[in-house]
Amino acid sequence: MIDALIFATLNGLLTGLLLFLLASGLTLIFSMMGVLNFAHASFHMLGAYCAWSIGQFTGFWPALLLAPLLVGGLGALVERYGLRHVHRAGHVAELVFTFGLAFVIEQAVQSFWGPDTKNYQPPALLDFPLFTLFGQDFPAYKAFMLLISLGIFIGLYAVLTRTRTGLIIQAATTHPQTVASLGHNLPLLHTLVFGAGSALAALAGVLAGPVLGTFPGMAATLGSIVFVIVVIGGLGSLTGALLASLLIGLLQSWAIAVDLGMPDLLHWLGVEFPVDHPLRDIWRLNLPQLAPVLPYLLLVLMLIFRPSGLFGRREG
């Protein structure tokens, strides 16, 4: 039991930090442009696929750098020539535009890279167990992922709070008119933030590709979860995004590790139900089954009882 919990905690932390790489870009883009980018997870997927393709020629390490740059550039182009054009029609049109973009990217990946899972392996350099606990290996690559994610978080925090660009970005989220009238190029800033956010998502994709699988459905499975995180953390809040990422990551990984459910609860309460009871599915639910449902349940409850999220200052 205890060994399963320790591994679940490590895996949960890892998932949480990876989710944060995605959520941080999404929340930053939202707070600047007021747009929830449905295609964010698609950039994540494109990152993994580009890295796999580039990796065929150069190996893992150059791809780790090149793929995010490529996808970041693509993101900047999307903002400049797509989103800015739709912006005039209002937020609903922007949301619908990014939704369509996510659809196109998923179809494009399926058409040109194929519907099967790519054999994307972690680099040979990191292909060894870092330590063994209770007879279970913890791969070095996962530790590397943890390290990079933590590094990015610290770097992002430093850039946003310590550098001039970061301060302008922060100012632009709350007082865009003032920033523009002080002579800063606001549209360029939007393009840069959108590009940087896409690059971060792509980096998460490059890192996650070998572990979580590189397949055309990876954007769809992750996309909604990242939305959940951004809403639970509070739209636009970076701290909220970090906490919500870790919360969701840990929650999901613990729910899978702990094999408890309604039968145990009913047993503890001393209640018995016949096997063919009409509501038998509900009496048989257990936590591993419920793991994929938990984030959405949390989202709906959050939106009902505290629509501004954990750390949000405004409602969507």
Record the tokens describing residue 64, joined without a space: 């780790």
Work out whether the CA dihedral 285, 286, 291, 294 comes out positive or negative. positive
Amino acid present at 211? V
CB of 224 to another protein, least distance (A): 5
Amino acid present at 183? G
Q: Which of 9, 15, 38, 20 is nearest to 239 (CA)?
A: 20
CB of 225 to another protein, least distance (A): 9
Of the two residues 20 and 227, which places its CB atom closer to another protein in the complex?
A: 227
CB of 230 to another protein, least distance (A): 9
Of the two residues 176 and 217, which places its CB atom closer to another protein in the complex?
A: 217
Of the two residues 82 and 166, which places its CB atom closer to another protein in the complex?
A: 82
Please name the residue ranges forming H helices in the chain.
2-33, 40-58, 60-78, 84-87, 91-112, 140-162, 164-174, 176-181, 186-212, 218-233, 238-257, 262-269, 280-283, 287-290, 294-305
Of the two residues 101 and 256, which places its CB atom closer to another protein in the complex?
A: 101
**Where along the sequence are the contacts to another protein (CB under 8 A)?**
36, 82, 85-86, 89, 91-93, 95-97, 99-101, 103-104, 107-108, 110-112, 220, 224, 227-228, 231, 235, 278-282, 285, 289-290, 292-293, 296-297, 299-300, 303-304, 307, 315-316
CB of 115 to another protein, least distance (A): 10
Residues 6+ positions from 204 with CB-CB distance below 8 Å: 18, 21, 22, 44, 47, 149
Of the two residues 135 and 278, which places its CB atom closer to another protein in the complex?
A: 278
Of the two residues 100 and 166, which places its CB atom closer to another protein in the complex?
A: 100
Judging by beta carbons within 10 Å of its beta carbon (0-12, 13-18, 19+), is residue 14 exposed, middle or buried?
buried
CB of 110 to another protein, least distance (A): 8
CB of 269 to another protein, least distance (A): 21
